[in-house]
């Protein structure tokens, strides 16, 4: 008898709506767009700094404008989601074996948050905030 | 033992008469300790002999009864009906062509599995008289998790990357390549590299992580792939250093 396998096509544009774990994945991917935009704004700030005090002040005022503040709050929130969702899976990529056992995943995740806190504190001190 | 009447909706496809799959409902009196596979067996024995599905061991070892239960890839023998409502939807594994009813065509996976040389490649062949290749418990531990795979293909069913681009070597095959690469008795990493470190190999993976979430044997293929990416990236960088091969 001849065979006639049936192929179900996956939608290229809406597959991520078919399961909550795919939605989480897309959320995680989308958050990096805000981080990228924020990075571009920072680099643009350096460029304005090079153009002199007025240009720099203009850039600072832009950041302090309502729109600037709203964007930064959003970007911060998304950066937190991004951090959480990446740190959560670090132990899968980073297995540290000690003898016959592995360093517990929570310790590896905790260490990542620890380093993040130290670097953040350092930056805040450098910026004269803390 | 108490029974509960459950409607089992099965995606059916009979190639000789159907143009496309359709759902067929069966009313099944399920014992409280039944798994979905028991319900399928009941249907086959008592209600409809034409239903096709694969199974063998009924104890999470053979890897044949992979199906999708209420949208989630599961082993039929490990999905307890008590964890579901009064209506359970059963479909064949996603991302594979349907041969008939719940039976899918897995030739593509078998080819991919073969392509990663999933066997021990020792530095030098020993005769049986020379004894075993010895290994410490710690060396065993380094790869043991990745050797637990039963080729059930739940991970391929869950992997959107494989669904979108079937050229992807995929989770279980890459995890098994990692299993041998991590084995202290093996020197076959170079032989596996062409397939494993290619674009269709580890670099096609975007770390959705679904494979590891559905794996019934806690193999963590997603972890295996990310670890391979790290080793492969280090290989690439060191190849430019003095003494490297670039
Ligand atoms: S890695 Fe897990 S889900 Fe994938 S085939 Fe092996 S046992 Fe099944």
Residue B14's pLDDT band (cuts 50, 70, 90):
very high
Q: Is residue A69 part of a domain?
A: yes
Q: Give the nearest ligand 1 atom to B148 CA.
A: 7
| Cα B144 from chain centre | 16
CB < 8 Å & 24+ apart, contacts of B189-193: B191/B117, B191/B121, B192/B116, B192/B117, B193/B232
Q: Is residue A53 part of a domain?
A: yes
Residues 6+ apart with CB under 8 A from A28: A81, A82, A85, A86
Task: Check whether residue A59 and residue A23 sit in a common domain.
Answer: yes
Residue B38's pLDDT band (cuts 50, 70, 90):
very high
CA A7, B211, B118, B230 torsion-angle sign: positive
pTM of the model as a whole = 0.92
Q: Alpha-carbon distance A40 to A23, whole Å?
A: 26
Question: Which of B12, B14, B15, B157 has the highest number of chain A CBs within 10 A, making it the mutation to test binding with A?
Answer: B15
Which strand (E) or helix (H) includes residue B25? strand B22-31
Determine contact, residues B233/B196, Cβ cutoff 8 Å. no
Q: Alpha-carbon distance B220 to B2, whole Å?
A: 37
Virtual torsion, Cα A22, A27, A29, A33, nearest 10 deg: 160
Q: How many CA atoms lie within 13 A of A32 on its CB side?
A: 6
| pLDDT above 70 (res B246) | no
Q: Is residue A102 part of a domain?
A: yes
Q: Is residue A108 part of a domain?
A: yes
CATH class, domain B3-104, is: alpha beta
User: Which residue from A1, A92, A99 is facing B223, i.e. has the nearest CB?
Assistant: A92
* pLDDT per position as a tens digit, B86-100: 999 999 999 999 999
Task: Check whether residue A53 and residue A99 sit in a common domain.
Answer: no
Task: Return the percentage of chain B with pLDDT > 90, whole number.
Answer: 90
What is the total count of domains within chain A?
Answer: 2
Locate the chain B residue with the closest alpha carbon to A17: B160
Looking at chain A, the number of H-run helices and the number of E-run strands are 4, 2
Virtual torsion, Cα B211, A86, B233, B206, nearest 10 deg: 40
Mind telling me how many Å the CA of B3 is from chain A's nearest CA? 31
Q: How far is CA A125 from CA A5, A72, A113, A119, A128, in A?
A: 64, 20, 18, 10, 5
Q: Which residues of A touch B97 (CB under 8 A)?
A: 5-7
Task: Check whether residue A75 and residue A101 sit in a common domain.
Answer: no
Choose among B178, B181, B191, B183: nearest CA to B219.
B178
Residue B245's pLDDT band (cuts 50, 70, 90):
low
Q: What is the mean pLDDT of chain B?
A: 96
pLDDT for B48 equals 98
Task: Check whether residue A68 and residue A113 sit in a common domain.
Answer: no
| ipTM (interface pTM) | 0.88
Mind telling me how many Å the CA of B126 is from chain A's nearest CA? 27
Task: Check whether residue A71 and residue A108 sit in a common domain.
Answer: no
Pocket probe for ligand 1: among B67, B73, B158, B171, the residue whose CB has the most ligand atoms within 8 Å is B171
| pLDDT above 80 (res A93) | yes
Q: Is residue A84 part of a domain?
A: no
Residue A1's pLDDT band (cuts 50, 70, 90):
low
State both tokens at A86.
């990446």
CATH class, domain B107-238, is: mainly alpha
Domain of A128? 94-130
Q: Is residue A87 part of a domain?
A: no
List the CATH number of the domain containing A19. 1.20.1300.10
- The domain limits of chain B are 3-104, 107-238
Using CA positions, which residue lies closest to atom 1 of ligand 1? B172
Q: Which residues of B touch A4 (CB under 8 A)?
A: 15-16
* pLDDT per position as a tens digit, A35-58: 999 999 999 999 999 999 999 999
Q: Alpha-carbon distance B149 to B143, whole Å?
A: 12
Task: Check whether residue A19 and residue A56 sit in a common domain.
Answer: yes
- Whether B107-238 and B3-104 are alike in CATH topology: the answer is no
Determine contact, residues B26/B106, Cβ cutoff 8 Å. no
Determine contact, residues B114/B154, Cβ cutoff 8 Å. no
State both tokens at B139.
């060396």
| Torsion angles phi and psi, residue A48, rounded to 5 | -65, -35
Q: Alpha-carbon distance B173 to A84, whole Å?
A: 29
Locate the chain A residue with the closest alpha carbon to B223: A92
Task: Check whether residue A51 and residue A106 sit in a common domain.
Answer: no
* Interchain proximity B15–A101, CB inside 8 Å: no
């Amino acid at each position: 008898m001849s065979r006639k396998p049936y192929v179900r096509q996956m939608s290229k544009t809406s597959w991520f709506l078919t399961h909550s774990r795919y939605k989480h994945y897309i959320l995680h991917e989308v958050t990096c767009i805000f981080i990228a935009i924020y990075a571009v704004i920072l680099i643009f700030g350096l460029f304005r700094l090079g153009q002199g005090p007025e240009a720099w002040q203009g850039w600072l005022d832009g950041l302090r404008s309502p729109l600037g503040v709203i964007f930064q709050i959003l970007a911060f929130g998304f950066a937190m989601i991004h951090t959480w969702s990446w740190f959560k899976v670090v132990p899968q990529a980073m297995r540290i074996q000690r003898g016959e056992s592995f360093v517990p995943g929570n310790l590896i995740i905790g260490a990542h948050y620890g380093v993040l806190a130290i670097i953040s504190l350092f930056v805040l001190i450098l910026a004269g905030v803390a | 033992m108490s029974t509960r009447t459950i409607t089992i909706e099965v995606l059916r496809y009979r190639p000789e008469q159907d143009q496309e799959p359709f759902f067929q409902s069966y009313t099944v009196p399920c014992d409280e300790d039944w798994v979905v596979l028991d319900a399928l067996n009941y249907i086959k024995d008592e209600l409809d002999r034409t239903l096709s599905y694969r199974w063998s061991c009924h104890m999470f070892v053979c890897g044949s009864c992979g199906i999708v239960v209420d949208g989630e890839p599961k082993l039929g023998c490990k999905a307890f009906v008590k964890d579901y409502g009064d209506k359970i939807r059963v479909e064949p594994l996603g991302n594979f062509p349907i041969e008939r009813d719940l039976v899918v065509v897995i030739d593509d996976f078998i080819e991919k599995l073969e392509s990663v040389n999933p066997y021990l490649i020792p530095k030098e062949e020993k005769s049986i008289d020379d004894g075993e290749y010895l290994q410490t418990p710690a060396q065993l531990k380094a790869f043991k998790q990745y050797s637990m795979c039963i080729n059930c293909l739940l991970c391929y069913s869950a992997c959107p990357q494989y669904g979108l681009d079937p050229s992807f070597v995929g989770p279980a095959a890459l995890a098994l390549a990692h299993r041998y690469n991590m084995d202290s008795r093996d020197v076959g990493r170079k032989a596996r590299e062409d397939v494993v470190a290619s674009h269709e190999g580890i670099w096609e993976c975007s770390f959705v992580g679904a494979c590891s979430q559905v794996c019934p044997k806690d193999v963590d293929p997603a972890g295996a792939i990310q670890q391979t990416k790290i080793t492969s990236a280090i290989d690439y960088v060191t190849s430019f250093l003095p003494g490297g091969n670039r």
